[in-house]
Amino acid sequence: MSQMLTITRPDDWHLHLRDVNDGRLQTVVNDTAKVMGRAIVMPNLKPAIVTVAQASSYRDRILSLLPAGSKFEPLMTLYLTDKTSPSEIKLAKESGFVKAVKYYPAGATTNSEDGVTDIKKVYPALEEMQSLGIPLLVHGEVVDPSVDVFDREAVFIDRVLQPLILDLSEMKVVVEHVTTREAVQFVIDASDNIGATITVQHLLYNRNAMLVGGIRPHFYCLPVLKRDIHQEALIAAATSGNKKFFLGSDSAPHFLTLKENSCGCAGCYTAMAAIELYATAFEKAGAIDKLEGFASFYGADFYGLPRNTDKITLERSATPRQLPRSIPCGRDNFIVPFPQETDIYWKLVG
């Protein structure tokens, strides 16, 4: 007999929707809106979403592609640059639809060229965010070329994040896509205005999946998968019931030719089956009962938004399925849903 799991509709607190120009926006909107109530929409487009006016027209493009009757709500973000002004932050608050500001250290990841070169330069904007209660969403990796790529998150915590939260102790901060036990510990020890998102790829895998038996570019994302002790710390945090940790898929689609490439780009497209994959990870940890808090409650609570009230149902079947090898997207392009090899027992049925 199959097992059913009904939970409050989840939200995705870290999502890359992309844009209309190459067809990806429609694909991701379809996959997301069928299950997520809301999503925090990342601003790392080209050009980046740095003003409220840009966020507004991007939001309109998203809404225009929603399936009829969909109640999905995109929660917009601004991309913090060295030039972001306190007055733009005020406009963000007034807009009602901009819910957070994203901090990419310049050069840390995909489309981060316009990011912050020195955190001190953005203190006026951060002080305004602190006083208005707008969360800062942090891509927590240093870009110092002398720091090993596997250590960039831990070093960022020491060099940038610790001093930042001492200076701006009331600011709401989400440490996005935590990948190390150092980051987990930092968040646990910090005050209640510090939270964190956890992706499903970091719960399901460690770096062996990416590097043993050949280089598997679809496992490559930033921050990069770490060793198993870190994966274990992330699983423990996600399944602990600690309200500081919540679902942020960081689903980030790239075209097949750019992933399967001599210089493959960073990002995993998990939106096609995000909640089913998280259910798989929680079940493996023997903690399926903790999925609802992580996926549907704690993120909304952190952002001060109401929890969703409707439900979704997942069915666990005896026979697993795998995601398709690729899906067509836009003209002559394909996206590879991640992860290919994983047996998925859960399926969204309502």
247 binds, among Zn ion, ligand NCD, none (CB under 5 to 8 A by kind): none
**Contact mark string toward ligand NCD, 262..291, x via CB under 6 A:** ----xx------------------------
Candidates 31, 82, 250, 332; catalytic one: 250
Q: How far apart are CA 177 and CA 61, in angstroms?
A: 26
User: How far is residue 88's CA from residue 314's CA, in Å, rounded to a whole number?
Assistant: 42
Coil, helix or strand for 120?
A: helix
Residue 182 interaction partner, one of ligand NCD, Zn ion, none, beta carbon < 5-8 Å per kind: none
Longest Cα–Cα distance of the chain, Å, equals: 59
Nearest approach in angstroms of CB 218 to ligand NCD is 11
- 235-264 footprint of Zn ion as x/- string (CB under 5 A): ---------------x--------------
Closer Cβ to ligand NCD, 154 or 252, answer by number: 252
Q: Are strands 98-103 and 327-329 parallel, antiparallel or unpaired?
A: unpaired
| 18 binding partner (options ligand NCD, Zn ion, none; Cβ < 5 to 8 Å by kind) | none
- The answer to whether residue 153 forms part of the interface with ligand NCD (CB under 6 A) is no
Q: Interface with Zn ion includes 141 (CB under 5 A)?
A: no
- In angstroms, rounded to a whole number, what is the distance separating the alpha carbons of residues 81 and 204? 33
- Give the separation between CA 180 and CA 230, rounded to whole angstroms: 5
Q: How far is the CB of 287 from Zn ion (least distance, A)?
A: 25
CA-closest candidate to residue 276, choices 106, 22, 35, 16: 35
Distances (CA, A) of 104 to 48, 152, 224: 11, 13, 15
List, as one string, the DSSP characters of 229-250: HHHHHHHHHHTTT-TTEEE---
Beta strands in 44-155, from DSSP E residues, in sequence order: 73-79, 98-103, 136-138
68 contacts 41 by C-beta, under 8 angstroms:
no
Strands, DSSP E only, in 63-130? 73-79, 98-103
266 contact, one of Zn ion, ligand NCD, none, CB 5-8 Å limit per kind:
ligand NCD
Q: Write down the residue that tokens 């500081």 correspond to.
A: 244
Among 252, 272, 275, 323, binds ligand NCD (CB under 6 A): 252
Shortest reach from residue 126's CB to ligand NCD, in Å: 20
Is residue 110 close enough to count as binding ligand NCD by CB under 6 A?
yes
Query: In the bound complex, what is the minimum distance in angstroms from residue 8's beta carbon to ligand NCD?
Result: 26
Nearer to ligand NCD by C-beta: 9 or 259? Answer: 259
Active site residue 118: no
Residues 209-248: x where in contact with ligand NCD by CB under 6 A, - otherwise, as a string:
------------xx--------------------------
Contact residues: ligand NCD, CB under 6 A: 16, 44, 109-110, 139, 221-222, 250, 252, 266-267
Q: Which residues are catalytic?
A: 250
Contact residues: Zn ion, CB under 5 A: 250
